Amino acid sequence: MVFWGLLNRGYALYDRSVREAQGVTFALVRGGGRKQLFLSERLSEFSGEVLPEGGFLCPLLVENAFALQRLFPSLSPRRLPEGASFGFGDRLGLATPGHIRAISSANVFPVLAQQSVRENARTGRTFEEVLAQAIFGIFQEGYEGGFGADADHLKRIGDALHAADIGYTFFTCDPGDYVVAAERLSLQEVQRQFALLPEADDFRREYLGRTFEIDGIGSLAFSEEELIRAAVKYGNAVDFADKLYHALTVRLPQGFDYEVSVDETETPTTPLEHLLVAHELRRRGVDFVSLAPRFVGAMEKGVDWRGDLETFRRELRAHAAIARAVGSYRLSLHSGSDKFTLYPLLAEETNGLWHVKTAGTSYLVALEVVARNDPSFFREVMQLSLSAFAADKQSYHISADPARIPPLDTVSDDDLAALVAKHDSRQVLHVGFGSVLSQLGDRLKELLAAHEQEHYAGLARHLGRHLQGLEANDERV
C-alpha cells in the first residue's frame, strides 16, 4: 500500500481524495497539524519533499493546486450550465468540503470559488489562493460534478483581467460607484445631468414613445421624466459594465459567464429601471447570464429578509418577466445568505432560473463550532468583533445595534452559540471577519481543523437548508 509509511507515522488519509494520473497515486493526508498532498512518486511540476519511506509530500500551495488541476480536468472551473446556480463564498478557505456535501442531493450547479475584491482585501487573500483552496477542497471530497469560479463585485477592469488569467470563469461586475441617486435630485438637476450623458440622444430614440410588451405583466412605457431619471441613475453604470465586458472578451475569446450587479444601491431597482439596464446591455452586445437588481425590503447581511412579502412577490414577478423577455438570464439574489422567507418565491417566480450568492453565513457556521468547543476563544472573537464594529460595518447593509447584545459576562458558556443566531450579535460577527482573521485567524483555523467533521456537517446542514428552501431538488431545476 503506497500510504503505509505515512499511516505508520500517524498521518490520516482522506479516502475520497485518492486517485491516479500518469501512473502516480495522489491523495490528501493530514499529519503534523496540517493537510498536505501526497504523491506516490515525485513529479517535476510539484514542489515538496521526498519521504524516506517513499513518496512525495507537498504543501497546499497555489502552484501545487494548479499543477493538480492540469492533471485532473474536473478541478478546472467551467461555465454555468442551464438552470439554477448557487455561489458558496468561503472567507476562511476551509469550507469547500462542507459546501460539496450540501449539494450532494441538490440539482444545482455550484460556484465553489467565490470571493470579492473587498473580501480578499479584508481576509488578506488573493484570487489565486481562493481558487487554490477550493481546488484542494474539491479534490479532498473526490467531487467531479463541475464547478464555477466567480471573481465577485469587480470595480476595476484590471482585477477582472487578472482573475481571467488564472482561470476564473464567472465575473460579477459591480458598477455601484457609477450609480446616481437620481430619486434625490430635482427635475431640473436630473435634466442637466441627462444632457451630459454621451448617449442621451440614443436613450430618447430608443425608449420614448415606445411600448414594451412583457408577458406576465403587460405593457411598459417610459414617460420622459421616468426615462431621464433611469438613464441618469444607471447610464454611467451601464457604460462601465459594457467596458468591463468587452475587455474580458478580448482576454477570454472562448467565452465566460458575466453578471451585472446593481444591488448595492440606496433605493430598489424598479421594473422600468431593470428594463432599461437589461435592454441597454443587450443593445450594446453584452452577453450577461445573470443580473442582480436591488430588491425591495431589507436585504441585509446574514439575516432573513424583512418587509412586505406581497410587495416583494409583485416586484419579483415583474423582474422575472423582464428577464425572460429581454434574454432568459438568471435573476441573482445577492446577500443571499439566510433569506429563507424569499427562497420559495424566488424558485417559483423565476421558474427555477436563479442564482443565489452566499458568503458570510459559512463563516458564521464556523463560529458556532468555536462557541461549542472553546467558549473562552469565542468570547475573544465576539469582543474583537464588537470593538471593530464601527469600522467594519462600513459598506455593508446591516441594522445591528451592539447595545442590544447582552454583556458577554452575563452569557453562560452553553448559551454562547445562540448569540450567532441572534440578529444583532450575528451581524456584528458577520462583518467582523476581517478583523478576526487578521488577529485570531491562525487560532480559528486550528480549532476548526481539530473539529473538521463537525464543521463540515454544520455547513452541509445550514447551506442544505438554503437549497431546500429554493426547491433545488425540484424537477423544474
Phi, psi of 215 (to 5 degrees): -55, 130
* 119, 259, 280, 349: the active-site residue: 259
Indicate the DSSP class of residue 183: G
Sequence letter at residue 304: D
DSSP 381-442: HHHHHHHTHHHHTTTS-----GGGSPPGGGS-GGGHHHHTTSHHHHHHHHHTHHHHHHHHHH
Closest to 397 (Cα-Cα) out of 312, 310, 303: 303
259 assigned to active site: yes
* 128, 141, 152, 349: the active-site residue: 152
The Cβ of residue 184 has, within 10 Å, a number of other Cβ atoms equal to 10
152 assigned to active site: yes
Sequence letter at residue 70: R
Sequence letter at residue 183: E
Instruction: Determine contact, residues 272/283, Cβ cutoff 8 Å.
Output: no
Q: How many residues does the chain have?
A: 477
Sequence letter at residue 334: H
The Cβ of residue 243 has, within 10 Å, a number of other Cβ atoms equal to 15
- Chain centroid offset of residue 444 CA: 22
* Active site (catalytic) residues: 152, 259
